[in-house]
Amino acid sequence: MSEENNCKEKEVSETEFPVRYAETDAMGVVHHAAYIVYFEEARSQYMRDRSKDYALIEKSGYRLPVTDVKVRYVGSLTYGDRVNIRAWITENRSRKITFNYEIRSSANSRILVSGSTSHTWTTLDGKVTRAPSLWLNF
């Protein structure tokens, strides 16, 4: 039961914001590490959209550290573009969550960067635990 995947449907959150100049690099495009921060921002928005802000989750004594990151880059964003990110959950178990992400320029439907992050629920002192009830009672 605790290992059930509570991921019934593809509920997607979408967030958009402008590329920051500080995120570009000498190749003239967004640096590849910045997309991991974009993923995090999309994950934060996913939680805010459902009134499950990660800030509240931490205040209630839980953390959700990252255990795995996978990213595939097929194109790039540049300064002047708006980042469009779609995020959804593909795995939602009692101790583990996996989010998937697709990043586009808001001007275009082509996926530029995609990836996933997996996370483990822990207490504030880092012990693995079960997801907080706040989270499970979606």
Active-site residue set? 25
Question: What distance in Å separates the CA atoms of residue 71 and residue 94, rounded to the nearest whole number?
Answer: 25
Provide the 3-class DSSP secondary structure of residue 12. coil
Q: Please identify which residue in 5, 60, 78, 90 interacts with a second copy, judged by CB under 8 A.
A: 78
**What SS3 state is found at 27?**
coil
Q: Is 106 in the site for a second copy (CB under 8 A)?
A: no
CA distances from 100 to 21, 36, 45, 121, 123 (A): 26, 12, 13, 17, 24
The correct pick among 26, 109, 127, 133 for binding a second copy (CB under 8 A) is 26
Q: Could you say which of 3, 8, 28, 133 contacts a second copy (CB under 8 A)? A: 28
Three-state DSSP at 108 gives: coil
Q: Which part of the chain contacts a second copy (CB under 8 A), choosing from 71-79, 86-94, 104-112, 129-137?
A: 71-79
Report the chain's terminal Cα–Cα distance, integer Å.
17
Residues that bind a second copy (CB under 8 A): 17-18, 20-22, 24-29, 31-34, 36-37, 40-41, 44-45, 48, 53-56, 58, 63, 65-74, 76, 78-80, 115
